[in-house]
Structure 1
Amino acid sequence: MEFRSLLLLTLLGFLFVDGKLKHVEECQIDVEALEDRLNATVEELMTQKAEVDRLKKENEDMQMRLNATEEEIDKLKQNVGNDTPKIAFSASLVNSGEIYRGPSADKTLVFKRVFSNTGSGYSQDTGIFTAPVNGLYYFSFSTYGYNTHVMGAILMKNGGRQISTYDNLSDDGSDSSSNAVVLQLVAGDKVYMELWDDGRVFDNHNAHTTFSGFLLFTV
Protein backbone atom coordinates (compact mmCIF):
# COMPACT_ATOMS: atom_id res chain seq x y z
CA MET A 1 0.00 0.00 0.00
CA GLU A 2 2.72 2.42 0.93
CA PHE A 3 4.63 1.51 -2.17
CA ARG A 4 1.65 2.23 -4.39
CA SER A 5 1.11 5.59 -2.68
CA LEU A 6 4.74 6.47 -3.14
CA LEU A 7 4.59 5.50 -6.80
CA LEU A 8 1.50 7.62 -7.29
CA LEU A 9 3.14 10.59 -5.64
CA THR A 10 6.19 10.12 -7.82
CA LEU A 11 4.09 10.03 -10.96
CA LEU A 12 2.23 13.15 -9.87
CA GLY A 13 5.57 14.87 -9.26
CA PHE A 14 6.76 13.98 -12.75
CA LEU A 15 3.57 15.29 -14.24
CA PHE A 16 3.90 18.52 -12.27
CA VAL A 17 7.52 19.01 -13.31
CA ASP A 18 6.72 18.16 -16.92
CA GLY A 19 3.93 20.76 -16.91
CA LYS A 20 6.28 23.34 -15.47
CA LEU A 21 8.88 22.58 -18.12
CA LYS A 22 6.33 22.94 -20.87
CA HIS A 23 5.21 26.26 -19.41
CA VAL A 24 8.81 27.42 -19.25
CA GLU A 25 9.36 26.38 -22.87
CA GLU A 26 6.23 28.23 -23.94
CA CYS A 27 7.39 31.33 -22.06
CA GLN A 28 10.80 31.05 -23.71
CA ILE A 29 9.16 30.86 -27.16
CA ASP A 30 7.07 33.93 -26.32
CA VAL A 31 10.20 35.79 -25.17
CA GLU A 32 12.05 34.89 -28.37
CA ALA A 33 9.09 36.07 -30.49
CA LEU A 34 8.98 39.30 -28.49
CA GLU A 35 12.70 39.79 -29.02
CA ASP A 36 12.24 39.28 -32.75
CA ARG A 37 9.49 41.89 -32.87
CA LEU A 38 11.57 44.25 -30.75
CA ASN A 39 14.56 43.82 -33.07
CA ALA A 40 12.34 44.46 -36.10
CA THR A 41 10.97 47.60 -34.44
CA VAL A 42 14.48 48.82 -33.65
CA GLU A 43 15.53 48.27 -37.27
CA GLU A 44 12.47 50.14 -38.52
CA LEU A 45 13.18 53.02 -36.13
CA MET A 46 16.79 53.14 -37.32
CA THR A 47 15.60 53.24 -40.94
CA GLN A 48 13.15 56.03 -40.13
CA LYS A 49 15.86 57.95 -38.28
CA ALA A 50 18.16 57.64 -41.29
CA GLU A 51 15.36 58.96 -43.54
CA VAL A 52 14.70 61.85 -41.15
CA ASP A 53 18.41 62.69 -41.11
CA ARG A 54 18.48 62.60 -44.93
CA LEU A 55 15.44 64.87 -45.20
CA LYS A 56 16.96 67.22 -42.62
CA LYS A 57 20.16 67.43 -44.66
CA GLU A 58 18.18 68.08 -47.85
CA ASN A 59 16.20 70.79 -46.07
CA GLU A 60 19.41 72.43 -44.86
CA ASP A 61 20.83 72.33 -48.40
CA MET A 62 17.63 73.80 -49.82
CA GLN A 63 17.66 76.55 -47.20
CA MET A 64 21.24 77.39 -48.11
CA ARG A 65 20.35 77.58 -51.80
CA LEU A 66 17.28 79.68 -51.01
CA ASN A 67 19.37 82.10 -48.96
CA ALA A 68 21.90 82.34 -51.79
CA THR A 69 19.11 82.97 -54.31
CA GLU A 70 17.57 85.68 -52.13
CA GLU A 71 20.96 87.35 -51.81
CA GLU A 72 21.39 87.24 -55.59
CA ILE A 73 17.91 88.72 -56.11
CA ASP A 74 18.72 91.51 -53.66
CA LYS A 75 21.92 92.25 -55.57
CA LEU A 76 20.02 92.30 -58.87
CA LYS A 77 17.42 94.65 -57.39
CA GLN A 78 20.18 96.94 -56.19
CA ASN A 79 21.85 96.84 -59.58
CA VAL A 80 18.57 97.56 -61.34
CA GLY A 81 17.86 100.41 -58.99
CA ASN A 82 21.34 101.89 -59.22
CA ASP A 83 22.53 101.14 -62.77
CA THR A 84 19.49 101.12 -65.08
CA PRO A 85 18.65 104.60 -66.35
CA LYS A 86 15.07 105.75 -65.91
CA ILE A 87 13.89 106.93 -69.33
CA ALA A 88 10.25 107.46 -70.31
CA PHE A 89 8.10 110.08 -72.01
CA SER A 90 4.53 110.62 -73.10
CA ALA A 91 3.00 113.54 -74.96
CA SER A 92 -0.01 114.60 -77.02
CA LEU A 93 -0.08 116.90 -80.00
CA VAL A 94 -1.62 120.10 -78.64
CA ASN A 95 -1.40 122.01 -75.36
CA SER A 96 -4.78 123.74 -75.64
CA GLY A 97 -7.57 124.38 -78.11
CA GLU A 98 -7.82 122.37 -81.32
CA ILE A 99 -5.31 121.66 -84.06
CA TYR A 100 -5.40 120.15 -87.54
CA ARG A 101 -1.84 119.20 -88.45
CA GLY A 102 -1.10 118.70 -92.15
CA PRO A 103 -0.87 118.44 -95.04
CA SER A 104 2.46 120.26 -94.97
CA ALA A 105 5.97 120.14 -96.37
CA ASP A 106 7.44 119.61 -92.89
CA LYS A 107 5.72 116.36 -91.94
CA THR A 108 7.35 115.89 -88.52
CA LEU A 109 4.76 115.91 -85.74
CA VAL A 110 5.77 117.96 -82.69
CA PHE A 111 3.88 116.82 -79.59
CA LYS A 112 3.62 119.89 -77.39
CA ARG A 113 1.64 118.65 -74.37
CA VAL A 114 4.20 116.67 -72.38
CA PHE A 115 2.73 114.41 -69.69
CA SER A 116 6.11 113.04 -68.59
CA ASN A 117 9.71 113.18 -69.77
CA THR A 118 11.90 111.28 -67.31
CA GLY A 119 15.48 111.31 -68.53
CA SER A 120 14.81 114.29 -70.85
CA GLY A 121 15.05 112.16 -73.99
CA TYR A 122 12.10 113.82 -75.72
CA SER A 123 12.20 117.37 -77.08
CA GLN A 124 8.88 119.23 -77.23
CA ASP A 125 10.55 121.78 -79.52
CA THR A 126 11.44 119.30 -82.27
CA GLY A 127 9.16 116.30 -81.52
CA ILE A 128 12.22 114.04 -81.57
CA PHE A 129 13.18 111.45 -78.95
CA THR A 130 16.95 110.95 -78.75
CA ALA A 131 18.08 107.73 -77.07
CA PRO A 132 20.33 108.60 -74.10
CA VAL A 133 21.77 105.04 -73.82
CA ASN A 134 21.99 101.80 -75.77
CA GLY A 135 18.99 99.58 -75.11
CA LEU A 136 15.65 98.13 -76.12
CA TYR A 137 12.90 100.76 -76.15
CA TYR A 138 9.13 100.44 -76.36
CA PHE A 139 7.22 103.03 -78.41
CA SER A 140 3.49 103.49 -78.95
CA PHE A 141 1.37 106.14 -80.64
CA SER A 142 -2.22 106.91 -81.58
CA THR A 143 -3.64 109.08 -84.37
CA TYR A 144 -7.04 110.63 -84.97
CA GLY A 145 -8.42 112.41 -88.02
CA TYR A 146 -11.39 113.12 -90.25
CA ASN A 147 -12.37 111.68 -93.62
CA THR A 148 -11.31 114.78 -95.59
CA HIS A 149 -7.67 113.62 -95.71
CA VAL A 150 -5.51 110.55 -95.33
CA MET A 151 -5.30 109.89 -91.60
CA GLY A 152 -2.32 108.30 -89.84
CA ALA A 153 1.37 108.72 -89.14
CA ILE A 154 4.69 106.91 -89.42
CA LEU A 155 7.14 106.16 -86.63
CA MET A 156 10.61 107.00 -87.93
CA LYS A 157 14.06 105.94 -86.72
CA ASN A 158 16.97 107.96 -88.05
CA GLY A 159 14.99 108.81 -91.17
CA GLY A 160 13.79 105.24 -91.82
CA ARG A 161 10.17 104.08 -91.57
CA GLN A 162 9.42 101.55 -88.83
CA ILE A 163 5.65 101.17 -88.25
CA SER A 164 2.59 103.27 -89.02
CA THR A 165 -1.12 103.88 -88.84
CA TYR A 166 -3.10 104.62 -92.00
CA ASP A 167 -6.67 105.23 -93.08
CA ASN A 168 -7.65 106.40 -96.54
CA LEU A 169 -10.49 108.74 -97.41
CA SER A 170 -13.73 107.10 -96.35
CA ASP A 171 -17.44 107.72 -95.89
CA ASP A 172 -17.30 107.65 -92.09
CA GLY A 173 -16.83 110.91 -90.24
CA SER A 174 -13.57 110.17 -88.39
CA ASP A 175 -10.96 107.50 -87.78
CA SER A 176 -8.65 106.54 -84.94
CA SER A 177 -5.70 104.11 -85.00
CA SER A 178 -2.77 103.06 -82.83
CA ASN A 179 0.39 100.97 -83.08
CA ALA A 180 3.42 99.96 -80.99
CA VAL A 181 6.90 98.51 -81.45
CA VAL A 182 10.09 97.55 -79.58
CA LEU A 183 13.25 98.99 -81.14
CA GLN A 184 16.90 98.41 -80.34
CA LEU A 185 18.62 101.78 -80.24
CA VAL A 186 22.12 103.02 -79.66
CA ALA A 187 22.81 106.25 -77.83
CA GLY A 188 22.04 109.16 -80.14
CA ASP A 189 19.47 107.36 -82.33
CA LYS A 190 16.46 109.56 -83.09
CA VAL A 191 12.84 108.42 -83.09
CA TYR A 192 9.95 110.66 -84.13
CA MET A 193 6.59 110.74 -85.93
CA GLU A 194 5.84 111.91 -89.47
CA LEU A 195 2.62 112.48 -91.39
CA TRP A 196 1.85 110.62 -94.59
CA ASP A 197 1.98 112.66 -97.81
CA ASP A 198 -1.24 114.70 -97.94
CA GLY A 199 -2.03 113.35 -94.47
CA ARG A 200 -3.70 115.17 -91.60
CA VAL A 201 -4.35 114.42 -87.93
CA PHE A 202 -6.46 116.18 -85.33
CA ASP A 203 -6.05 116.78 -81.62
CA ASN A 204 -7.54 118.79 -78.77
CA HIS A 205 -7.50 118.72 -74.96
CA ASN A 206 -8.84 115.14 -75.07
CA ALA A 207 -5.43 113.98 -76.38
CA HIS A 208 -6.49 111.87 -79.36
CA THR A 209 -3.09 111.96 -81.08
CA THR A 210 -0.24 110.84 -78.79
CA PHE A 211 3.37 109.62 -78.77
CA SER A 212 5.00 107.65 -75.90
CA GLY A 213 8.08 105.55 -75.22
CA PHE A 214 10.29 104.15 -72.49
CA LEU A 215 13.45 102.13 -71.96
CA LEU A 216 12.88 98.43 -71.30
CA PHE A 217 16.50 97.58 -70.46
CA THR A 218 20.02 98.47 -71.55
CA VAL A 219 22.06 96.26 -73.88
Structure 2
Amino acid sequence: MEVRAVLLLTLLGLLFVEPGFGQRGDMESSEWLKVELIKNFQDKLEYVDKLQHDVDALEARLNMTVDELTRQRGEVDRLNKENEGLQKRLNATEEEIKKLKQSSAKAAPHIAFSASLANSRETYSGPCTERTLVFKRVFSNTGSYDPNTGIFTAPVNGLYYFGFSTYGYNSHITGAILMKNGVRQISTYENPSADGSDGGSNAAVLQLAAGDKVYMELWDNGRVFDNLNGHTTFSGFLVFPV
Protein backbone atom coordinates (compact mmCIF):
# COMPACT_ATOMS: atom_id res chain seq x y z
CA MET A 1 0.00 0.00 0.00
CA GLU A 2 2.90 2.44 0.66
CA VAL A 3 4.24 1.95 -2.89
CA ARG A 4 0.82 2.64 -4.36
CA ALA A 5 0.49 5.84 -2.32
CA VAL A 6 3.90 7.08 -3.50
CA LEU A 7 3.00 6.44 -7.11
CA LEU A 8 -0.33 8.26 -6.74
CA LEU A 9 1.32 11.27 -5.16
CA THR A 10 3.91 11.36 -7.94
CA LEU A 11 1.18 11.19 -10.56
CA LEU A 12 -0.77 13.99 -8.94
CA GLY A 13 2.36 16.12 -8.79
CA LEU A 14 2.92 15.75 -12.50
CA LEU A 15 -0.67 16.51 -13.35
CA PHE A 16 -0.64 19.81 -11.45
CA VAL A 17 2.61 21.09 -12.88
CA GLU A 18 1.86 24.07 -15.09
CA PRO A 19 3.42 23.85 -18.51
CA GLY A 20 5.91 26.62 -19.35
CA PHE A 21 5.42 29.25 -21.98
CA GLY A 22 6.34 28.12 -25.45
CA GLN A 23 5.03 27.29 -28.80
CA ARG A 24 1.91 25.29 -29.56
CA GLY A 25 3.93 22.27 -30.56
CA ASP A 26 5.66 22.27 -27.25
CA MET A 27 2.30 22.33 -25.46
CA GLU A 28 1.00 19.39 -27.51
CA SER A 29 4.16 17.47 -26.72
CA SER A 30 3.67 18.25 -23.07
CA GLU A 31 0.10 16.97 -23.17
CA TRP A 32 1.19 13.83 -24.95
CA LEU A 33 3.90 13.31 -22.36
CA LYS A 34 1.37 13.64 -19.57
CA VAL A 35 -0.91 11.09 -21.21
CA GLU A 36 1.98 8.68 -21.57
CA LEU A 37 3.03 9.28 -17.99
CA ILE A 38 -0.52 8.72 -16.79
CA LYS A 39 -0.78 5.50 -18.78
CA ASN A 40 2.60 4.37 -17.48
CA PHE A 41 1.61 5.14 -13.90
CA GLN A 42 -1.69 3.31 -14.37
CA ASP A 43 0.19 0.23 -15.56
CA LYS A 44 2.49 0.50 -12.56
CA LEU A 45 -0.49 0.90 -10.23
CA GLU A 46 -2.11 -2.21 -11.68
CA TYR A 47 1.16 -4.11 -11.22
CA VAL A 48 1.43 -2.81 -7.65
CA ASP A 49 -2.18 -3.86 -7.02
CA LYS A 50 -1.36 -7.35 -8.31
CA LEU A 51 1.73 -7.53 -6.13
CA GLN A 52 -0.29 -6.35 -3.14
CA HIS A 53 -2.93 -9.00 -3.85
CA ASP A 54 -0.22 -11.68 -4.00
CA VAL A 55 1.32 -10.41 -0.76
CA ASP A 56 -2.09 -10.45 0.94
CA ALA A 57 -2.67 -14.03 -0.27
CA LEU A 58 0.75 -15.11 0.97
CA GLU A 59 0.13 -13.42 4.32
CA ALA A 60 -3.23 -15.18 4.62
CA ARG A 61 -1.61 -18.53 3.84
CA LEU A 62 1.17 -17.78 6.32
CA ASN A 63 -1.38 -16.94 9.01
CA MET A 64 -3.24 -20.19 8.28
CA THR A 65 0.03 -22.12 8.50
CA VAL A 66 0.90 -20.45 11.80
CA ASP A 67 -2.58 -21.24 13.15
CA GLU A 68 -2.27 -24.86 12.02
CA LEU A 69 1.19 -25.18 13.60
CA THR A 70 -0.14 -23.68 16.81
CA ARG A 71 -3.05 -26.13 16.80
CA GLN A 72 -0.76 -29.07 16.10
CA ARG A 73 1.65 -27.98 18.81
CA GLY A 74 -1.25 -27.86 21.23
CA GLU A 75 -2.37 -31.33 20.11
CA VAL A 76 1.17 -32.69 20.54
CA ASP A 77 1.36 -31.17 24.03
CA ARG A 78 -2.00 -32.76 24.90
CA LEU A 79 -0.89 -36.16 23.57
CA ASN A 80 2.39 -35.89 25.47
CA LYS A 81 0.49 -35.23 28.69
CA GLU A 82 -1.82 -38.17 27.99
CA ASN A 83 1.19 -40.36 27.25
CA GLU A 84 2.82 -39.32 30.51
CA GLY A 85 -0.37 -40.20 32.36
CA LEU A 86 -0.64 -43.58 30.62
CA GLN A 87 3.02 -44.30 31.31
CA LYS A 88 2.53 -43.55 35.00
CA ARG A 89 -0.51 -45.85 35.10
CA LEU A 90 1.41 -48.58 33.25
CA ASN A 91 4.33 -48.30 35.65
CA ALA A 92 1.95 -48.45 38.61
CA THR A 93 0.20 -51.52 37.13
CA GLU A 94 3.50 -53.29 36.45
CA GLU A 95 4.63 -52.56 40.00
CA GLU A 96 1.34 -53.90 41.37
CA ILE A 97 1.66 -57.08 39.27
CA LYS A 98 5.21 -57.51 40.49
CA LYS A 99 4.08 -57.18 44.10
CA LEU A 100 1.23 -59.64 43.51
CA LYS A 101 3.63 -62.16 41.96
CA GLN A 102 6.02 -61.79 44.87
CA SER A 103 3.16 -62.12 47.33
CA SER A 104 1.76 -65.14 45.49
CA ALA A 105 5.17 -66.77 45.32
CA LYS A 106 5.61 -66.31 49.06
CA ALA A 107 2.06 -67.36 49.93
CA ALA A 108 1.79 -70.49 47.74
CA PRO A 109 4.03 -73.33 48.93
CA HIS A 110 6.17 -75.13 46.36
CA ILE A 111 4.95 -78.72 46.29
CA ALA A 112 5.88 -81.16 43.53
CA PHE A 113 7.43 -84.58 42.96
CA SER A 114 8.16 -87.00 40.14
CA ALA A 115 9.57 -90.54 40.36
CA SER A 116 9.85 -93.84 38.54
CA LEU A 117 9.72 -97.36 39.92
CA ALA A 118 13.25 -98.64 39.22
CA ASN A 119 16.33 -96.78 40.45
CA SER A 120 19.09 -99.13 39.32
CA ARG A 121 18.06 -102.15 37.20
CA GLU A 122 15.07 -103.98 35.74
CA THR A 123 12.32 -104.27 38.33
CA TYR A 124 9.17 -106.38 38.39
CA SER A 125 6.63 -105.49 41.05
CA GLY A 126 3.80 -107.95 41.88
CA PRO A 127 1.88 -109.99 42.18
CA CYS A 128 2.25 -109.60 45.92
CA THR A 129 0.32 -109.04 49.12
CA GLU A 130 1.91 -105.61 49.71
CA ARG A 131 0.39 -103.91 46.71
CA THR A 132 1.58 -100.32 47.34
CA LEU A 133 4.08 -99.32 44.66
CA VAL A 134 7.22 -97.62 45.94
CA PHE A 135 8.73 -95.35 43.30
CA LYS A 136 12.38 -95.18 44.30
CA ARG A 137 14.03 -93.24 41.45
CA VAL A 138 13.18 -89.66 42.37
CA PHE A 139 13.51 -87.00 39.65
CA SER A 140 12.28 -84.13 41.83
CA ASN A 141 10.76 -83.82 45.28
CA THR A 142 10.08 -80.80 47.48
CA GLY A 143 9.67 -83.06 50.49
CA SER A 144 6.06 -84.28 50.50
CA TYR A 145 6.70 -87.59 48.73
CA ASP A 146 8.35 -90.40 50.71
CA PRO A 147 10.48 -92.65 48.44
CA ASN A 148 10.69 -95.23 51.23
CA THR A 149 6.93 -95.82 51.39
CA GLY A 150 5.70 -94.52 48.00
CA ILE A 151 3.20 -92.22 49.76
CA PHE A 152 2.60 -88.54 49.05
CA THR A 153 1.26 -86.60 52.05
CA ALA A 154 -0.48 -83.27 51.35
CA PRO A 155 1.14 -80.52 53.45
CA VAL A 156 -1.65 -77.96 52.84
CA ASN A 157 -5.27 -77.86 51.72
CA GLY A 158 -5.49 -77.47 47.95
CA LEU A 159 -6.12 -78.84 44.49
CA TYR A 160 -3.40 -81.27 43.40
CA TYR A 161 -2.58 -82.78 40.04
CA PHE A 162 -1.47 -86.43 39.86
CA GLY A 163 -0.37 -88.38 36.80
CA PHE A 164 1.03 -91.87 36.38
CA SER A 165 2.00 -94.45 33.77
CA THR A 166 2.27 -98.24 33.94
CA TYR A 167 3.96 -100.87 31.79
CA GLY A 168 4.03 -104.66 31.92
CA TYR A 169 4.19 -107.93 30.01
CA ASN A 170 1.37 -110.27 29.01
CA SER A 171 1.87 -112.84 31.76
CA HIS A 172 -0.20 -110.84 34.28
CA ILE A 173 -2.72 -108.04 34.56
CA THR A 174 -0.93 -104.74 33.90
CA GLY A 175 -2.02 -101.51 35.59
CA ALA A 176 -2.30 -99.67 38.87
CA ILE A 177 -4.77 -97.65 40.96
CA LEU A 178 -4.39 -94.10 42.28
CA MET A 179 -5.47 -94.21 45.93
CA LYS A 180 -6.51 -91.39 48.26
CA ASN A 181 -6.66 -92.34 51.94
CA GLY A 182 -7.35 -95.95 50.96
CA VAL A 183 -10.09 -95.10 48.44
CA ARG A 184 -9.71 -95.80 44.71
CA GLN A 185 -9.72 -92.72 42.47
CA ILE A 186 -8.57 -93.60 38.92
CA SER A 187 -6.58 -96.43 37.35
CA THR A 188 -5.00 -98.12 34.36
CA TYR A 189 -5.85 -101.74 33.52
CA GLU A 190 -4.84 -104.21 30.80
CA ASN A 191 -5.64 -107.95 30.68
CA PRO A 192 -2.89 -110.26 29.45
CA SER A 193 -2.74 -109.94 25.67
CA ALA A 194 -1.05 -111.62 22.75
CA ASP A 195 1.07 -108.61 21.81
CA GLY A 196 3.64 -109.30 24.52
CA SER A 197 3.43 -106.03 26.50
CA ASP A 198 0.89 -103.46 27.65
CA GLY A 199 1.07 -99.86 28.86
CA GLY A 200 -1.29 -97.20 30.07
CA SER A 201 -1.48 -93.77 31.69
CA ASN A 202 -4.00 -91.62 33.53
CA ALA A 203 -4.25 -88.34 35.47
CA ALA A 204 -6.59 -86.46 37.78
CA VAL A 205 -6.89 -83.31 39.88
CA LEU A 206 -7.85 -84.11 43.47
CA GLN A 207 -8.90 -81.81 46.29
CA LEU A 208 -6.87 -82.72 49.36
CA ALA A 209 -6.85 -81.60 52.96
CA ALA A 210 -3.57 -81.26 54.81
CA GLY A 211 -2.48 -84.75 55.89
CA ASP A 212 -4.34 -86.65 53.13
CA LYS A 213 -2.28 -89.47 51.62
CA VAL A 214 -2.07 -90.36 47.93
CA TYR A 215 -0.24 -93.40 46.55
CA MET A 216 -0.36 -96.11 43.86
CA GLU A 217 -1.52 -99.76 44.28
CA LEU A 218 -1.35 -102.84 42.05
CA TRP A 219 -4.43 -104.70 40.98
CA ASP A 220 -4.98 -108.18 42.40
CA ASN A 221 -2.61 -110.52 40.56
CA GLY A 222 -1.21 -107.44 38.82
CA ARG A 223 2.39 -106.82 37.83
CA VAL A 224 4.28 -103.83 36.39
CA PHE A 225 7.75 -103.51 34.97
CA ASP A 226 10.34 -100.72 34.95
CA ASN A 227 14.00 -100.06 34.26
CA LEU A 228 16.13 -96.95 33.90
CA ASN A 229 14.06 -95.97 30.85
CA GLY A 230 11.26 -94.99 33.25
CA HIS A 231 8.23 -96.92 31.94
CA THR A 232 6.28 -96.90 35.23
CA THR A 233 6.10 -93.44 36.85
CA PHE A 234 4.21 -91.37 39.42
CA SER A 235 4.11 -87.55 39.58
CA GLY A 236 2.14 -84.79 41.31
CA PHE A 237 2.12 -81.11 42.25
CA LEU A 238 0.01 -78.46 43.95
CA VAL A 239 -2.15 -76.53 41.49
CA PHE A 240 -3.22 -73.92 44.08
CA PRO A 241 -4.11 -73.81 47.77
CA VAL A 242 -7.76 -73.64 48.89
TM-score computed with the length of structure 1 as normaliser: 0.89
Q: Could you say if the C-alpha distance between residues 167 and 30 of structure 1 is closer, same or farther in structure 2, counting changes exceeding 3 Å?
A: same
Cα distance, 1:72 vs structure 2: 1.7
Is 1:210 matched up with 2:233? yes
Match of 2:181 among 149, 158, 161: 158
AA matched with 2:30: L
User: Structure 1 vs Structure 2: percent identity of aligned residues?
Assistant: 67
Q: How does 1:109-188 map to 2 (within 5 A)?
A: 109-118=133-142, 120-188=143-211
Q: What residue number does 1:68 align with?
A: 92
Larger radius of gyration: 2
Any gaps of 5 or more consecutive residues in structure 2? 1-24
State the Cα distance separating 1:137 from its structure 2 match.
1.9
Range with greater deviation from structure 2 (106-115 or 166-175): 106-115
1:108 is paired with a residue of what secondary structure?
A: coil
Q: Does 1:15 align with 2:48?
A: no
How many residue pairs were aligned? 218
**Structure 1's 85 and 19: CA in aligned 2 closer, same or farther, altered over 3 A?**
same
Q: Does 1:192 align with 2:215?
A: yes
- For 1:58, the aligned partner's letter is E
Distance 1:29 1:96 in 2: 102
After TM superposition, which residue ranges in structure 1, 4 or more long, deviate above 4 angstroms? none
2:113 alignment counterpart: 89
Secondary structure (helix, strand or coil) at the match of 2:222 reads: coil
- 1:109 is paired with a residue of what secondary structure? coil
SS in 2 for 1:63: helix
1:129, distance to aligned residue in structure 2 (A): 0.7
Give the deviation of 1:128 after TM superposition. 1.4
> Residues 17 and 177 from structure 1, CA distance in 2 versus in 1: closer, same or farther, beyond 3 angstroms?
same
Superposed, 1:21-32 pairs within 5 Å as: 21-32=45-56
Give CA deviations for 1:159-179 in whole Å, capped at 9, x if unaligned.
Answer: 333322221110011122222
Which structure is richer in relative contact order (CA contacts within 8 A, separation 6 or more)?
Answer: 1
Name stretches of at least 5 consecutive residues in structure 1 with no aligned partner: none
